[in-house]
Amino acid sequence: MKIKVIGALCLIGIVVTVALARIQTSKEQAYTPPFLDAQGNTIPGSIAVLEQVTLNGVPQWILIRGKNAGKPVLLYLHGGPGFSHIPFVKLLQTPELEKNFIVVQWDQRGSGKSYSKDLTESDMRIENFVEDTKDLTNHLRARFGQEKIFMLGHSWGSALGFMTIAKYPELYHAYVAAGEAADWNKRQTMSFDWALGQARQDKNQKAVDTLEGVVPFDPTNPDHIGVKNEVLEVYGGEYHEAAGYKKYVDYMGQGPEYTSDDFQKFEQGSSWSGKTTDLEAARSGYSLFRDLPEVQIPVYFFAGRYDYQTPSSLAEDYYKVLKAPDKGFIWFENSAHYTFFMEPDKATRELIRIAKKTLK
């Protein structure tokens, strides 16, 4: 199936352009709406804050939302690297999710509101992100008086989550991996092969020629990956339907959590993270098959049936050999790479089910 979508870097540029056009000067103070009762009063015990914290020596921004501050904490790790969830939060956080969890979104170092031109390449090394995640987890544990929290990572964030639970398993009830790469470079090669196969099947000679122009495909070469992604997205390997892309654009600039300056940082941070952290992940040869055959906590996978950005079949292969106290593989039948964006109600139900199962 061919759909009309736009490549990731181009999408980010359009997202920023549309958002800047919609943001009014009166909205230049970022905030997140409180939880209100029928009379318009803030619901006692709820929490809705957008604030800066210092993690591992670096100032970074978090968004915390929950209707009941006594519920379990759920920390999201966004993908990219550099693709913050905060400006899209209403697309993935359902009212039911915020009723059952204290949901925490985090603009990781170098991403979105946390981007700074003062960050160096060494600041963007993967081990720093792992320590940031640990610091934020401990901050949340102390703040809400919880011994452990839940964590969900998407794509790059899924890799970060696995690296974190490998080092600090005692901090987490369970981990949910969405759009898991399993093997950073193998998934790029599988993704390339699928895109080329789709183009040939469609007799799209222009796309075939474009892809064959980077043969032999190098999964560590950003230019090769960019060429692959352009074709991959045309055939629905990232967004199963064009409506997925449209959801992003239609929502841009409507949420109050990002100002025009934040959207400009979003664009800069995405580019910077791709040149630093993403490249390091590729060159380091991240592979869960080799490095993490066993984990100490329950792990669950969210997999899009049509995901060929991080092919779900590869994640399923890892799931089958992974040793864990408990594990599960959950298919999202109407999604590609962005499961909880495209099917937020199902994601909410599964997260609530996982929490009840883990805490019983």
pLDDT tens series, the chain, 360 aa: 454 444 444 455 555 555 555 554 445 789 999 999 999 999 999 999 999 999 999 999 999 999 999 999 999 999 999 999 999 899 999 999 999 999 999 999 999 999 999 999 999 999 999 999 999 999 999 999 999 999 999 999 999 999 999 999 999 999 999 999 999 999 999 999 999 999 999 999 999 999 999 999 999 998 999 999 999 989 999 887 766 667 767 777 788 999 989 999 999 999 898 888 887 887 788 999 999 999 999 999 999 999 999 999 999 999 999 999 999 999 999 999 999 999 999 999 999 999 999 998
Given a contact cutoff of 8 angstroms between Cβ atoms, the answer to whether 192 and 233 are in contact is no
Beta strands (DSSP E) in 57-203 are 58-66, 73-77, 102-107, 149-154, 172-178
The pLDDT value recorded for residue 15 is: 55
Provide the number of structural domains found in the chain.
1
Residue 211: how many other CB atoms lie within 10 Å: 25
SS3 164: helix
Cis amide linkage into residue 344, ω under 30° from 0: no
In a domain, 153, yes or no: yes
Q: Which of 35, 51, 75, 72 is nearest to 158 (CA)?
A: 75
CA distances from 296 to 151, 174, 255 (A): 14, 9, 38
What's the CA dihedral at 23, 16, 275, 105 to 10 degrees? Answer: 50
Alpha-carbon gap, residue 132 to 16, rounded angstroms: 26
| Structural domain that includes position 173 | 29-183+256-359
Tell me how far apart the alpha carbons of residues 19 and 27 are, in angstroms, rounded to a whole number: 12
What pLDDT score was predicted for residue 8? 46
Residue 72 within any structural domain of the chain: yes
**pLDDT recorded at residue 229:** 93
pLDDT score for 21 = 55
Cα 157 to Cα 80, 94, 153, 196, 277: the distances in Å are: 8, 20, 4, 27, 12
Calpha distance 62→42 (Å, rounded): 21
CATH code (residue 88)? 3.40.50.1820
Nearest to 15 by CA among 339, 271, 340: 271
Compute φ and ψ for 98, nearest 5 degrees. -70, -15
Quote the tokens at residue 88. 């899209």
* Measured CA distances, 343 to 94, 237, 303 (Å): 10, 16, 11
Please answer whether residues 274 and 124 qualify as being in contact, where contact means their C-beta atoms are separated by less than 8 angstroms.
no
Any domain includes 329:
yes
Q: Give φ, ψ of 187 to 5 degrees.
A: -65, -35
Give the pLDDT confidence score for residue 20 in this predicted structure.
56
Within a domain: 326: yes
Q: What is the pLDDT of residue 17?
A: 57
CA distance 216 to 264: 35
Residue 202 belongs to some domain of the structure: no
The answer as to whether 353 is a domain residue is yes
Closest CA to 340 of 299, 304, 298: 304
Q: Is residue 191 part of a domain?
A: no
249 lies in some domain: no
